[in-house]
């Protein structure tokens, strides 16, 4: 296609599907790459999102859709935070302005959104497993088509990726794995595999080495010509041996690369050859620049991995909450304070030192800071090993990522009753990242574990006291706290250990008991004050400890008021309310009890305030539940 469009139109305006992309000539493809970047930058500047990852794969995305017959060929993005160009090319450009907004486009691939999204993604290192399963299913069903997994070098630090590679090599199916190598995941990559990739030799380096050898051999007699012929025949083997290809070849993959990830001609030619290869799994090693096309993101890709709305000209964020530190920041600062006092304290992250607030700790205590890469399971058992030898490890991790480590927590930490603290950041709904990142299950899948203590602070001041309490406890602790800023409560200068398993009565009342968890305490207090204006006196208890519950305090006020409402930023199924109901039942206390939280379905993206309102766990929702109970 030669668009012959006027200056007011863009090539992107004519792209409604990959079929349209395949009709473009080389010059139009280059223009389209520029337009895709402009659209991504301008949109993310308004909505926030994963900017640098998506900018880094624009040409790769175009080449994949140009060469492969999507959606018949299945394209699986690992994590999915790099899929914005993919969305724009697959019929979603008219809705792209709704990216990550409430009831808008997801920030990640989503099956219900497009036939070009074969899987739901949001967590790392799943793409090869997904793709291998799909490739095997195609074979069993005697269907045509390729499956292509696009995985970043950061995601390759996870054991699951290598489990899938090993299985794929053993099965010898037609699978294509694209290794997007930008030397960066969210933070700089760590681990031996990352070091191995960084030692790669580019095609240019190989050519220089070959040219040098050719010059020397040509100066020799016929022996030199024979050796030169042999060299040319074995050039590909030499390249594989001198690059990370030796690792993938050992896993029975045909290794191709490394190739430049922003050269469309090279990408299209290489992927065409790979597409026509029908003899087992292939890995294509592509070198890209994270943040490509936006200078601030290229200069500091980690800072622009995931961003809020920002000013394009300066790169600076538009929104902030001055004067109110985030829970994450309070956690990081408090842990540094504790580490200055106690040399046993160590900190662990799974590739997210910035996101979990551990960057200051890593600078001040480099010998006691450990980034294990995207390996949450290993992080837990590694922490257990530290604890076995007398250390006090703190593992900071997002609630939704902690889901991967349940077995290790049960078997390796709680069974031997080790003093490991899990700092569970982003508990509750997190906003625009949506269902793959909401931490709305930890109150359901953690409290059942023996030996585990679990706490949730009502504000940032209580958080620092709970951290101190955890540092002194002789057993495993989970400390859950939400995303975002605190309540604006001044921080005490002296840290105080909380009485184990004891809650606090915040407000007396005679008509019902409100039992809010963590960040729902202040909304419950607001509701109680408004109910008082309606003549209803609600007692409010801050449990502090989800496990062990303060059974005496809760039971006493439940019996005094005769009605109980639990409020949690968590799923209702198996959550805090269910725990309270079970406790009251075991104590022979039968009374009306309502549980407020999230219903039995996945919660979509949206501002936290909107999601709290929809779930009825904001002050207005609590008041409605209280009036309904009183009037029943």
pLDDT tens digit string along 193-249?
A: 544 444 444 444 445 545 555 565 555 555 555 555 554 545 444 444 455 677 788
Give CA–CA dist 481/473, Å, rounded. Answer: 19
Mean pLDDT of 366-394: 95
Name the percent of the chain in helix, strand, coil, to the closest 5: 45, 15, 40
In this prediction, residue 188 carries a pLDDT of: 54
**Cα within 13 Å of Cα(190), Cβ side:** 15
Judge whether residue 251 has pLDDT over 90.
no
Give CA–CA dist 322/12, Å, rounded. Answer: 40
* List of residues 6+ apart from 134 with CB closer than 8 A: 74, 76, 118, 147
**Cα within 13 Å of Cα(238), Cβ side:** 14
In this prediction, residue 319 carries a pLDDT of: 64
Mean pLDDT of 256-275: 92
| From 59, 376, 460, 568, active-site residue | 376
In this prediction, residue 249 carries a pLDDT of: 81
Within 10 A of 73 (CB to CB), how many other CB atoms are there?
A: 20
Rg (CA), the chain: 28
In this prediction, residue 320 carries a pLDDT of: 54
Structure tokens given for 50:
């994963």
Give CA–CA dist 447/229, Å, rounded. Answer: 68
In this prediction, residue 227 carries a pLDDT of: 54
Least confident residue range of 84-93, 274-283, 444-453 = 274-283
Closest among 354, 310, 421 to 40, alpha carbons compared: 310
Mean pLDDT of 397-424: 97
Identify whether 22 is a catalytic site residue. no
pTM here?
0.86
Answer whether 398's CB lies under 8 Å from 352's CB: yes
Does 327-480 match 504-631 in CATH topology?
Answer: yes
In this prediction, residue 401 carries a pLDDT of: 95
Mean pLDDT of the chain: 89
Closest among 351, 261, 360 to 61, alpha carbons compared: 261
Give CA–CA dist 116/250, Å, rounded. Answer: 32
In this prediction, residue 3 carries a pLDDT of: 45
Answer whether 596's CB lies under 8 Å from 578's CB: no
Within 10 A of 488 (CB to CB), how many other CB atoms are there?
A: 11
Mean pLDDT of 134-146: 91
What CA–CA distances, in Å, run from 545 to 80, 279, 462, 490, 566? Answer: 36, 57, 12, 22, 14
List the domain boundaries for the chain: 11-200+243-296, 327-480, 504-631
* List of residues 6+ apart from 7 with CB closer than 8 A: none
493-546: pLDDT as tens digits: 999 999 999 999 999 999 999 999 999 999 999 999 999 999 999 999 999 999
Give CA–CA dist 496/475, Å, rounded. Answer: 18
In this prediction, residue 258 carries a pLDDT of: 86
H-run or E-run covering 235? helix 235-241
Judge whether residue 614 has pLDDT over 90.
yes
| Structure-token match 């030898």, residue found | 389
596 DSSP β-pair partners: 567
In this prediction, residue 337 carries a pLDDT of: 97
DSSP-H helix ranges across 342-375: 359-364
Mean pLDDT of 361-371: 97
Structure tokens given for 427:
């508990």
Least confident residue range of 31-45, 119-133, 477-491 = 119-133
594 DSSP β-pair partners: 565
Identify whether 376 is a catalytic site residue. yes
Mean pLDDT of 554-559: 98
| Structure-token match 């083997």, residue found | 237
| Three-state DSSP class for residue 566 | strand
In this prediction, residue 213 carries a pLDDT of: 52
Question: Any idea what DSSP says for residue 149?
Answer: E
For residues 405-417, one letter each, b for 16 or more C-beta atoms within 10 angstroms of the residue's C-beta and e for the rest, the string is beebbbebbbeee
Sign of the alpha-carbon torsion through 438, 443, 449, 452: positive
Instruction: List the CATH code of the domain at 11-200+243-296.
Output: 3.40.50.970
157-203: pLDDT as tens digits: 788 888 888 898 888 888 999 999 886 544 555 554 544 444 444 44
Closest among 598, 455, 449, 475 to 521, alpha carbons compared: 455
Within 10 A of 448 (CB to CB), how many other CB atoms are there?
A: 11
pLDDT: which is higher, 394 or 320? 394
564-613: pLDDT as tens digits: 999 999 999 999 999 999 999 999 999 999 999 999 999 999 999 999 99
In this prediction, residue 214 carries a pLDDT of: 55
How do strand 504-507 and strand 538-542 relate by DSSP bridges?
antiparallel
| Three-state DSSP class for residue 453 | strand
| From 110, 404, 520, 544, active-site residue | 404
How do strand 512-516 and strand 74-77 relate by DSSP bridges?
unpaired
In this prediction, residue 195 carries a pLDDT of: 46
Residues for the chain: how many in total? Answer: 632
In this prediction, residue 124 carries a pLDDT of: 85
- The domain 504-631 is classified under which CATH number: 3.40.1410.10, 3.40.50.720, 3.90.1150.10, 3.40.50.920? 3.40.50.920
Closest among 160, 239, 154, 230 to 197, alpha carbons compared: 154
Give CA–CA dist 629/632, Å, rounded. Answer: 5
pLDDT-derived band at 478, boundaries 50, 70, 90:
very high
Identify whether 290 is a catalytic site residue. yes
On the question of a cis peptide bond just before residue 71, with omega within 30 degrees of 0, the verdict is yes
Answer whether 455's CB lies under 8 Å from 331's CB: no
- The domain 327-480 is classified under which CATH number: 3.40.50.970, 3.20.20.80, 3.40.50.620, 1.10.150.110? 3.40.50.970
Within 10 A of 222 (CB to CB), how many other CB atoms are there?
A: 7
Judge whether residue 488 has pLDDT over 90.
yes
Judge whether residue 77 has pLDDT over 90.
yes
Answer whether 471's CB lies under 8 Å from 331's CB: no
| From 290, 426, 544, 547, active-site residue | 290
H-run or E-run covering 20? helix 18-21
In this prediction, residue 112 carries a pLDDT of: 92
Closest among 545, 547, 528, 433 to 484, alpha carbons compared: 433
Helices (H) and strands (E) in the chain, counts: 26, 17
pLDDT-derived band at 442, boundaries 50, 70, 90:
very high
| Structure-token match 């997210």, residue found | 352
């Amino acid at each position: 296609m030669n668009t012959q469009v006027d200056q007011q139109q863009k090539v992107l305006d004519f792209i409604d599907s990959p079929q349209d992309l395949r009709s473009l000539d080389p010059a139009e493809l280059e223009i389209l790459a520029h337009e895709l970047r402009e659209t991504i930058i301008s949109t993310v500047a308004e909505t926030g999102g994963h900017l640098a990852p998506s900018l880094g794969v624009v040409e790769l995305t175009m080449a994949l859709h140009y060469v492969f017959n999507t959606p018949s060929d299945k394209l699986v993005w690992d994590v999915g935070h790099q899929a914005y160009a993919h969305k724009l090319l697959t019929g979603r450009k008219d809705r792209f302005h709704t990216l990550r907004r409430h009831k808008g486009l997801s920030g990640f691939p989503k099956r219900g959104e497009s036939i070009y999204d074969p899987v739901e993604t949001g967590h790392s290192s799943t793409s090869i497993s997904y793709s291998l399963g799909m490739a095997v299913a195609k074979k069993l069903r005697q269907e045509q088509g390729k499956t292509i997994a696009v995985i970043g070098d950061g995601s390759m630090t996870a054991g699951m990726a290598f489990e899938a590679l090993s299985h794929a090599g053993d099965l010898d199916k037609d699978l294509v794995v694209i290794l997007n190598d930008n030397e960066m995941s969210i933070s700089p990559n760590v681990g031996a595999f990352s070091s191995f990739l960084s030692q790669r030799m580019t095609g240019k380096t190989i050519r220089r080495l070959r040219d040098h050898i050719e010059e020397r051999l040509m100066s020799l007699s016929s022996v030199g010509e024979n050796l030169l012929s042999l060299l040319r025949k074995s050039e590909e083997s030499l390249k594989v041996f001198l690059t990370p290809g030796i690792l993938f070849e050992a896993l029975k993959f045909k290794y191709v690369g490394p190739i430049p990830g922003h050269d469309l001609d090279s990408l299209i030619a290489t992927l065409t050859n790979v597409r026509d290869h029908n003899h087992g799994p292939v890995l294509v090693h592509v070198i890209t620049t994270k943040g490509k096309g936006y200078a601030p993101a290229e200069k500091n890709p980690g800072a622009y991995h995931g961003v809020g709305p920002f000013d394009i000209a300066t790169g600076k964020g538009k929104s902030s909450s001055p004067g109110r530190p985030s829970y994450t920041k309070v956690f990081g600062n408090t842990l540094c304070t504790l580490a200055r006092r106690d040399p046993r304290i160590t900190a662990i992250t799974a590739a997210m030192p910035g996101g979990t607030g551990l960057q200051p700790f890593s600078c001040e205590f480099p010998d006691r800071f450990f980034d294990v890469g995207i390996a949450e399971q290993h992080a837990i058992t590694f922490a257990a090993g530290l604890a076995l030898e007398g250390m006090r490890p703190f593992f900071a991790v997002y609630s939704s990522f902690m889901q991967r480590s349940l077995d290790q927590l049960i078997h390796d930490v709680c069974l031997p009753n080790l003093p490991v603290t899990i700092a569970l950041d982003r508990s509750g709904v997190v906003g625009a990242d949506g269902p793959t990142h909401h931490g709305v299950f930890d109150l359901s899948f953690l409290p059942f574990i023996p030996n585990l203590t679990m706490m949730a602070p009502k504000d940032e001041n209580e958080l620092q006291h709970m951290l101190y309490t955890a540092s002194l406890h002789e057993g495993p602790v989970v400390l859950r706290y939400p995303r975002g800023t605190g309540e604006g409560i001044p921080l005490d200068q002296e840290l105080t250990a909380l009485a184990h398993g004891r809650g606090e009565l915040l407000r007396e009342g005679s008509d019902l008991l409100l039992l809010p968890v963590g960040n729902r305490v202040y909304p419950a207090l607001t509701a109680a004050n408004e109910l008082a204006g309606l003549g209803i006196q609600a007692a409010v208890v801050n449990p502090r400890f989800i496990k062990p519950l303060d059974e005496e305090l809760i039971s006493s006020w439940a019996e005094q008021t005769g009605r109980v409402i639990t409020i949690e930023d968590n799923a209702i199924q198996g959550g805090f309310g269910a725990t309270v109901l079970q406790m009251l039942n075991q104590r022979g206390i039968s009374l009306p009890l309502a549980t407020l939280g999230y219903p039995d379905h996945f919660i979509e993206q949206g501002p936290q305030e909107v999601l709290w309102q929809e779930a009825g766990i904001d002050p207005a929702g609590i008041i409605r539940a209280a009036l309904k109970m009183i009037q029943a």
